[in-house]
Structure 1
């Protein structure tokens, strides 16, 4: 298990470029299974979760070739489908939640898809019902082995249908879309997720020959086609990283430029940070965060406490609520954080309380943060990262804290952030990785 040792209290400066989006990468890499032709994907982040998925595809028989620092070609023309029922796959697939998205493409192209119950963050229940209910609607038969915790769907032919999703699940929508593109007839998906990364997947599929309309809305119409071809695709910058760097600049009173952010795909993210009192400037396609000695929370117009909660796109992404919570600890004013989606994601606040933050965990989904306006610094401590987003939040807290902090289990951070210690050192952070 690796560890970060951080000497806090230093201002950062310079520019940092966000990696390719992790959540998009997991979707579009699975989409290569839909064609026997070559697909080239660029701006792939070099992180544990994505590398695990590329490894699994390689074991399945996909020919993968790294053609640049962040670019790969994929060719799924000769797959070993027996791997899907092997003990090795049960072990490989269970370590990565994103592996669930291979099921839709495999079902569409080969008539069967299997997956062990996926792992990932320990942030509460992340049910798979939306995925499999969608496959069943398209005509697949579902089976589940409780003893081995192994899911399977099979179909001689998928047939287009109308469906209303019970939740606007991003991965669920992605999986169903990938199954529907090769189904016979037309499929409509209402209450579909419409995040930029899902839009990117649909645009990539259309370049491969799919017929998807309504992209960017919550009503997708998919006219099934006989087969798909190859294409080239570039992944968007990671909006979660961009939000992380905005929060880090505010907490450390630093001036930072975040390069090439694809501003128009950030949605309400800049607006939410501005509600926290953080100055953000758009400079072309860059985000500039100037040095601030303090930032004041904007209450609602009736004077009531600001509440920041997650919601399906175009609402605020749940992956940034942990960052907002940490930023709130040094704001002037108070904020109520409402994490609706996952019941364990706020449990990391006990580490912030140990560091001197004023946080009241109201229940598993809500926390009230009383900002200290930088009048009292957080204190360095020893902690363990429970998941990706809590891990980066604790790292931001440690960078702003007085004294030395130690963060164990940083593999959780490495799952979502590429080469983060070296990138932060380049802008002045005092951080050391110890294996």
Structure 2
């Protein structure tokens, strides 16, 4: 198990470019299974979860060529469906959540899929019902084997249908969408997720020959086609990394420019940071964050305490709440962080309390943060990363703390952030990776 040793208290400065979007990359890489033609995807982040998915597809028989550091060409001409029942596939698929999104493409193109329960962050219950109920409405017959902890699905032919998703699940919508593009007839998906990553997946599928209407809305209408062609596609910048860098600059009182941030795709994220008092400027597609000695939390119009909560797009992504919670510890003012989707995601706050933060964990979903207004810097400590986003939140805390901190289990951070230690050290951070 690897660790970071962080010498806190250093200001950062310079320019940093966000990696390609992790959540988009996982979706569009699964979509290559829909065609036997070559698909080239660029701006793919070099992170553990993406590399594991690429290796999973390679094991299934997909021909994969790495063109550059962030560019790959995939050709799914000959897929070995028997590989899905191998120990190697089980082992690989259970380590990443994104593996579930091969279900829609395989059912659409080959009529069957075998899927061990996928892995991912341990942040509470993460239901798969939306995926399977949606694909079932397209004509797939699902069976769950509790002994094998695996799903089997078969269909003679997927057929278009009208459905209302129980939740606006991003990966669930992606799976159903990828099944529907090759289904016979018309599919209407109400309460569809419409995050930028879903928009990107939809536009990539249209380039491949799919017929999709309602992109960027919560009603998708798909007219099934007989086959899809290859295409070229580029992933967006990762908006979670952009948010992480904004928070990091504020906490460390640093002057940073985030280059090529994909500003038009950030939605409510910039405004959410403004509510915490963080100043920044847009310069074209760049974000400039000046050095800030203090930042003050807004109140609601009636004077009541600010609440920041997550919601389906265009609401605030839950992936940024851990970062915002950490930022609030040094703000002037108090804020309630309400994590609606995952009941275990706030449990990392005990590490911040050990560092001197004033946080009341109200229940598994809510925490009240009393900002210290930099009156007392956080203390260094030894901690363990429980998941990707909490891991980076703890890294931000350690960078702003007095003394030397250690973070163990940084493999969790590596799952979502590309060479984060090297990139931050280039800005002036003091992070040492210990294997």
Residue of structure 1 in register with 2:267 after alignment: 267
- Cα deviation, residue 335, structure 1: 0.2
Cα shift at 1:420:
0.6
- Which residue of the partner structure matches residue 85 of structure 1? 85
Normalising by the residue count of structure 2, what TM-score does the alignment of the two structures yield? 1.00
Q: How far off its partner does 1:90 sit?
A: 1.5
Matches within 5 A, 1:7-26: 7-26=7-26
Is 2:172 aligned against 1:169? no
RMSD: 0.4
Tell me if the contact between 1:379 and 1:402 (Cα under 8 Å) persists in the aligned partners.
yes
Distance 1:428 1:213 in 2: 47
Q: What does residue 132 of structure 1 align with?
A: 132
SS at match of 2:143: strand
Hey, what does 2:146 align to over in structure 1?
146
- Superposed CA deviations along residues 354-395 of structure 1, whole A, max 9, x for unmatched, are 000000000000000000011100000000000000000000
- Equivalences for 1:294-309 in 2 at 5 Å? 294-309=294-309
Q: Quote how far apart the aligned CAs of 1:87 are.
A: 2.2
Match of 2:104 in 1: 104
Structure 1 residue 123, shift from structure 2 partner: 0.4
Using the TM superposition, give the Cα deviation of residue 262 of structure 1 relative to its aligned residue in structure 2, in angstroms: 1.0
Q: Where does residue 198 of structure 1 map in the other structure? A: 198
* TM-score of the pair, normalised by structure 1: 1.00
Report 1:408-419 matches (<5 A). Answer: 408-419=408-419
Q: Secondary structure at the match of 1:153?
A: strand
Q: Which runs of 4+ in 1 moved over 4 A?
A: none
Residues 279-335 of structure 1: CA deviation (Å, up to 9, x unaligned): 010000001100000000000000000000000000000000000000000000000
Q: How does 1:243-258 map to 2 (within 5 A)?
A: 243-258=243-258
Q: 3-state SS of the aligned residue for 1:288?
A: strand
In the alignment, what sits opposite 1:328? 328
2:2 maps to what in 1? 2
Distance 2:285 2:379 in 1: 36
**Matching of residues 24-423 of structure 1 within 5 Å:** 24-423=24-423
Q: Secondary structure at the match of 1:125?
A: coil
**d(CA) in 1 for partners of 2:304, 2:180:** 46
Rounded Cα–Cα distance in structure 2 between residues aligned with 1:92 and 1:26: 14
Q: Distance in 1 between matches of 2:310 and 2:397?
A: 21
Deviation at 1:113, TM superposition (A): 1.5
Does the CA-based 8 Å contact 1:135-1:153 persist in structure 2?
Answer: no
Report how many residues are paired. Answer: 435
Structure 1 gaps of 5+ residues are none
CA distance in 2, matches of 1:334, 1:83: 53
CA distance in structure 1 between the aligned counterparts of 2:118 and 2:16, rounded to whole angstroms: 33
Q: CA–CA distance in 1 between the matches of 2:317 and 2:222?
A: 26
The separation in 2 between residues aligned to 1:15 and 1:21, in whole angstroms, is 19
**SS of residue in 1 equivalent to 2:53:** helix
Structure 1 residue matching 2:105: 3-state secondary structure: helix
Distance in 1, matches of 2:320 and 2:190, equals 26
Unaligned runs of 5+ in 2: none
